[in-house]
Amino acid sequence: MSALSSESRRPALTAVIVLFVAYASLFWAMQGFVKAGRSDFIIYYTAAQMAKSHVLNRLYDLNLQIEFQDRIMSDLQSPVRFTHDLLPYNHPPFQILWFMPLARLPYLSAFSIWVLWSVLCFALGILLLTRSAEGLQNANVHWLYLLSFLYLPLLGTLLQGQDSAMLFLFWVLAYRSLKRSREGWAGFWLSLLLQKFQILLPVVLVLSAKKRWKAMGGFLGGSLVLLLISFALVGASGLESYIGLLKEMSGWVGHKGIYPSQMHNLRGQIYLLWYDEHPLFANILTIGASLVLLAVLLRCWNGRWDPGRPDFDLRFSLLVITSLLVSPHLNFHDVSLMLLPGLLIWRFAGQQRHGAKVNRWLACAVLIVTFPVLVASFIMSLSLKINLHVLGLLCLAGTVAWTIIRSQPIDSVQA
């Protein structure tokens, strides 16, 4: 089917209208939330105001951040006061560059522009993944595009004014660069993920294990550029303060906006069950479980490096899922990065190069985990210390790993 038929356009158009109305209604209902400065965007705007006032050398002085944030909240005439008086900017210095152009705008205008930019990043990333979906009819691709925009963590990113949309686009660009054997560029795009460096350990492990030195060179080169930019922005004292803040944050639990038990990762589930009564055991178990997942990931990357093979998409999907699960810090909006493995797995299933039963398992697993299980996790959390979504991600990772390992005997011979 080269184009959508008139019959298939009608439900697609209806879905677009319903989606638009749902989003408009939700944003209208949440306008008080946004106008009161209660979203995470406040941390970026606070940092941007400090840049505007030329005090970036004290960017990680939390007392100074409180002064600027209080001033912003006063301008908004907001009654909101965050726990411990601050929602701190704790990201790397170079990330401020994305927000400095917004510093001269009023808060709500800056927030609106950032949301539009985030929508563009999501739309471009999803388009790059769906337009090359071989084996899927165009009608299915359009429905897949619509389903992607119905994904709750994507909406959470927009309502919070967070940076996850950019991270998603960088992941997509890194994946496309690897598929096209432009490994230096892939490494560069991955270096931009240092905005949230905690998700990068699995990537570095895989690239090192597979001896993809061009990709590692691009990553290290990009990292060096970002370090130099950070030094130019905040100076040596600012970098030292940032390192000190990271050390301090490692002990934050239920402090200044960091609530590990609410995170959608291994740490979140384990802390939910055991941290209150057995904190040392919870930390040890988190590290141990993460190491097991990393070992499974490396096992699945055994064999020949061949981005042209369909199962490369499965391996990359497992890489992203594992990166999210073992990350020590992962909030709900960060789960929007699951759009990448979700779309790749659907593409793989649609190519029909493996058994129909395997394809159905993969496609169903993605749909179940990303929609009903995700919603059910919020309902169940009210009565049980179980995050169904984390368990669902573990099951999805296991299903993908099992599919990869089943196809690896051929690789072992050819490696």
3-state secondary structure 350-372: HCCCCCHHHHHHHHHHHHHHHHH
pLDDT at site 238: 96
- Residue 349 in tokens: 């299933």
Which of left, alpha, beta for 303 (phi over 0: left; psi -120 to 50: alpha)?
left
Mean pLDDT, rounded, of the chain: 88
Cα–Cα distance, 106 to 61 (Å, whole number): 24
C-alpha 315/C-alpha 127 separation (Å) is 21
Q: Which of 296, 398, 310, 390 is nearest to 346 (CA)?
A: 310
| Residue 3: per-residue pLDDT | 38
Task: Retrieve residue 376's tokens.
Answer: 């059910």
CA dihedral 107, 109, 111, 113 (to 10 degrees): -150
DSSP 334: G
255 three-class SS: strand
Confidence of residue 19 (pLDDT cuts 50, 70, 90): low
Query: How much is the pLDDT for 6?
Result: 47
Who wins on pLDDT, 115 or 409?
A: 115
- Kindly state whether residue 7 falls inside one of the protein's structural domains: no
The predicted-structure confidence for 341-363, as pLDDT tens digits, reads as follows: 999 998 888 775 555 667 777 88
* pTM reported for the whole predicted model: 0.91
Residue 116 falls within a domain, yes or no?
no
> Is 362 domain-assigned?
yes
Per-position b or e across 253-263, b if 16+ CB within 10 A of its CB? eeebbbebbeb
Output 273 or 20, whichever has higher pLDDT.
273
Task: Identify the band that residue 13 occupies on the pLDDT scale cut at 50, 70 and 90.
Answer: low
Specify the pLDDT at position 1: 34
CA atoms within 13 A on the CB side of 354: 21
Find the domain containing 385 and state its range.
262-415
Residue 145: is it exposed, middle or buried by C-beta count within 10 angstroms (0-12/13-18/19+)? buried
How sure is the predictor about 16, in pLDDT bands with cuts at 50, 70 and 90? low
Asked if 387 and 269 touch (Cβ cutoff 8 Å), the reply is: yes
Model pLDDT for residues 249-287, shown as the tens digit of each residue? 988 888 888 899 999 999 999 999 999 999 999 999 999
With 0-12 / 13-18 / 19 or more C-beta atoms within 10 angstroms meaning exposed / middle / buried, residue 349 is buried
**Average pLDDT for 193-214:** 97
Report, as an integer, the average pLDDT of 94-117. Answer: 96
pLDDT at 15 over 60: no
Per-residue pLDDT band for 229 (boundaries 50, 70, 90) equals: very high
CA-wise closest residue to 152 among 323, 335, 331, 321: 335
Residue tagged 């190069």 (tokens) = 353
Are 218 and 188 in contact, with CB atoms under 8 Å apart?
yes
Share of the chain above pLDDT 70, in %: 88
Residue 304 CA from chain centroid, whole number: 28
By mean pLDDT, which of 86-95, 96-105, 363-372 is the weakest?
A: 363-372
Residue 306 pLDDT > 80: yes
Kindly state whether residue 171 falls inside one of the protein's structural domains. no
137 pLDDT above the threshold of 70? no
pLDDT in tens, 237-258: 999 999 999 999 988 888 888 8
Q: Is residue 413 scored above 50 in pLDDT?
A: no
Q: Record the tokens describing residue 327, joined without a space.
A: 């990350």
Q: Is residue 401 part of a domain?
A: yes
CA distance 369 to 152: 12
255 vs 3: CA distance, rounded Å = 53
pLDDT at 29: 73
| Count of structural domains within the chain | 1
The two three-digit tokens of residue 268, written as one number: 């979140």
Instruction: Retrieve residue 215's tokens.
Output: 């990709």
Higher-pLDDT residue of 92 and 37 is 92
Please indicate, yes or no, if residue 279 is contained in any of the structural domains: yes
CA 97 from chain centre, in angstroms, equals 20
Q: Which residue has the higher pLDDT, 31 or 35?
A: 35
Query: Residue 8: what pLDDT?
Result: 47
Range with lowest mean pLDDT among 6-20, 112-126, 185-199, 325-339: 6-20
As a whole number of angstroms, the distance between CA 82 and CA 11 comes to 44
| More confident site: 163 or 308 | 163
DSSP H stretches of helix in 132-163: 138-149, 152-160
Please return the burial class of 368, using the count of CB atoms within 10 Å of its CB with bins 0-12, 13-18 and 19+: middle
* pLDDT number for residue 372: 85
Has residue 249 been placed in a domain?
no
Burial pattern 90-102, b for ≥16 Cβ within 10 A else e, equals bbbbbbbebbbeb
First to last CA, the chain: 38
Query: Is residue 133 very low, low, confident or very high in pLDDT (cuts 50, 70, 90)?
Result: low
Residue 395 lies in a domain: yes
What does R_g of the chain's alpha carbons equal in angstroms? 22
Residues 232/233/237/240 CA torsion (nearest 10 deg): -100
pLDDT for residue 56:
96
Residues 6+ apart with CB under 8 A from 322: 202, 293, 294, 296, 297, 397
Q: How far apart are CA 290 and CA 299, in angstroms?
A: 14
Element (H, E) at 17: helix 6-29
Lowest mean pLDDT among 12-21, 45-54, 170-179, 338-347: 12-21
